[in-house]
């Protein structure tokens, strides 16, 4: 079997590695450098704390593989609320997650403060912690997945932009190759690639932003503030702080963070911790979204497969999604015991749905 993979991010590289390991002849095409899309710009937060059973199963398997590969640094993931509506959501999520057997717990705000004295707990209405979480370094993930793919025999072609002539024919500047199957894991560019073969995809793009601080001399978990809509994770003695997300045209995603984002993220960090660190770096990158916030993973035509629509969770899912796609393409039993084929079916939408990539801001998260 010969498979072409379009996109050299964490998802394309994970699929390529697992297919090659299974003995499939794989060629991966990346228009720039490996990891030059969203993958190299991710924050690197990984957790299995999802209330949906399929999402939880995928994330749990991905964490397991990251651990096996020595890429995951343990770091609890805390999420907090500041109003009654968000507090209700936190408690419901924890109940659902615990019913799935996940190692999560609701803790009173003062207990969070005792565990992490640098967290300002005044104003918090609910807190939960996923103990079984961690962080990865995006560049290390990309390098590991690339090395693993090459070792298993995959050919990785960088600086090679491609398009599709038909579902299984990949067109390069001066050549074309026909495969038994093609997997498009090209992030926001998945849409235009499929449009060339008349397959519409329900996919939108938004731009996420982060900043990295200089050293902070305190112990902190990764934390998502659901009411103030930002997060941080410890990183190299400092903190990486995000979000500042907004809808964007995929072709117009400025990689430099906006000064307004940097100022507002720092302000929220100061209010949440009392810390006022220097800023070392900041950047932005594209994220893909779907109408129901579940990804698009599976076949869209005979021999043509897609994997995109991660809603900001692609890095943490990549090892499980790569494995799943390789198993389906290769015809072996799936490791993850969950209805991925139905839930993530990319053809569950007509492709012409109008939706906002960040969802309804008034909806319960």
Ligand X SMILES: Cc1cc2nc3c(=O)[nH]c(=O)nc-3n(C[C@H](O)[C@H](O)[C@H](O)COP(=O)(O)OP(=O)(O)OC[C@H]3O[C@@H](n4cnc5c(N)ncnc54)[C@H](O)[C@@H]3O)c2cc1C
Binding site for ligand X (CB under 6 A): 6-12, 29-32, 36-39, 41-45, 161-162, 185-187, 189, 193, 208, 210, 242, 285, 287, 308, 310, 312-316
Nearer to ligand X, 206 or 349 (CB): 206
262-290 core/surface letters (b: 16 or more CB in 10 A; e: else): bebbbebbeebbebebebeebebbbbbbb
Shortest reach from residue 287's CB to ligand X, in Å: 5
Shortest reach from residue 10's CB to ligand X, in Å: 5
Query: Read out DSSP for 67-112?
Result: HHTT-PEE--EEEEESSHHHHHHHHHHHHHHHHTT--EEEE-HHHH
36-55 core/surface letters (b: 16 or more CB in 10 A; e: else): bbbbbbbbbbbbbbbbbbbb
Distance, in Å, from the CA atom of 295 to the CA atom of 6, rounded to the nearest integer, reads 17
Shortest reach from residue 197's CB to ligand X, in Å: 13
Distance, in Å, from the CA atom of 287 to the CA atom of 323, rounded to the nearest integer, reads 22
DSSP annotation of 257 reads: P
Nearer to ligand X, 117 or 140 (CB): 140
Shortest reach from residue 20's CB to ligand X, in Å: 17
Shortest reach from residue 108's CB to ligand X, in Å: 27
SS3 304: strand
Shortest reach from residue 15's CB to ligand X, in Å: 9
Nearer to ligand X, 39 or 273 (CB): 39
Contact 197, 20 (CB under 8 A): no
Neighbours of 252 (CB within 10 A): 9
Nearer to ligand X, 44 or 234 (CB): 44
Shortest reach from residue 120's CB to ligand X, in Å: 23
Nearer to ligand X, 21 or 288 (CB): 288
Tell me how far apart the terminal alpha carbons of the chain are, to the nearest angstrom: 42
Residue corresponding to tokens 């640098």: 118
Nearer to ligand X, 87 or 245 (CB): 245
Nearer to ligand X, 87 or 297 (CB): 297
């Amino acid at each position: 079997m010969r498979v072409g993979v379009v996109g050299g991010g964490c998802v394309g590289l994970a699929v390529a590695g697992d297919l090659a390991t299974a003995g499939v002849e794989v060629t991966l095409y990346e228009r720039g450098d490996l990891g030059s899309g969203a993958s190299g710009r991710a924050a690197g937060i990984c957790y299995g704390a999802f209330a949906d059973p399929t999402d939880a199963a995928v994330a749990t398997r991905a964490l397991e593989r990251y651990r096996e590969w020595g890429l995951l640094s343990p770091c609890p993931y805390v999420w907090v609320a500041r109003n009654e509506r968000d507090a209700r959501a936190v408690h419901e999520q924890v109940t659902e997650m615990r019913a799935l057997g996940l190692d999560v717990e609701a803790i009173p705000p003062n207990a969070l403060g005792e565990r992490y004295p640098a967290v300002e707990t005044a104003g918090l209405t609910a807190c939960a912690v996923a103990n079984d979480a961690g962080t990865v370094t995006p560049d290390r993930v990309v390098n590991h997945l690339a090395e693993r793919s090459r070792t298993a025999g995959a050919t990785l072609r960088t600086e090679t932009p491609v398009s599709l002539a038909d579902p299984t024919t990949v067109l390069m500047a001066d050549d074309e190759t026909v495969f038994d199957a093609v997997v498009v894991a090209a992030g926001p560019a998945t849409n235009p690639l499929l449009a060339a073969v008349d397959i519409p995809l329900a996919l939108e793009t938004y731009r996420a932003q982060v900043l990295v601080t200089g050293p902070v001399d305190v112990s902190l978990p990764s934390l998502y503030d659901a009411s103030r809509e930002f997060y941080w994770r410890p990183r190299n003695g400092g903190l990486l702080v995000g979000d500042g997300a907004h809808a964007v045209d995929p072709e117009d995603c400025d990689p430099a963070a906006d000064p307004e984002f940097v100022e507002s993220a720092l302000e929220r960090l100061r209010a949440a911790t009392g810390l006022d660190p220097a800023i070392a770096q900041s950047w932005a990158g594209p994220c893909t979204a779907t109408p129901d916030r579940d990804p698009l993973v599976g076949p869209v035509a005979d021999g043509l497969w897609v994997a995109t629509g991660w809603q900001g969770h692609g890095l943490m899912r990549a090892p499980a999604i790569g494995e799943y796609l390789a198993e389906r393409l290769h015809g072996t039993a799936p490791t993850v015991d969950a209805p991925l084929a139905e839930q993530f079916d990319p053809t569950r939408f007509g492709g012409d749905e109008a939706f906002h990539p960040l969802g309804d801001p008034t909806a319960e998260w």
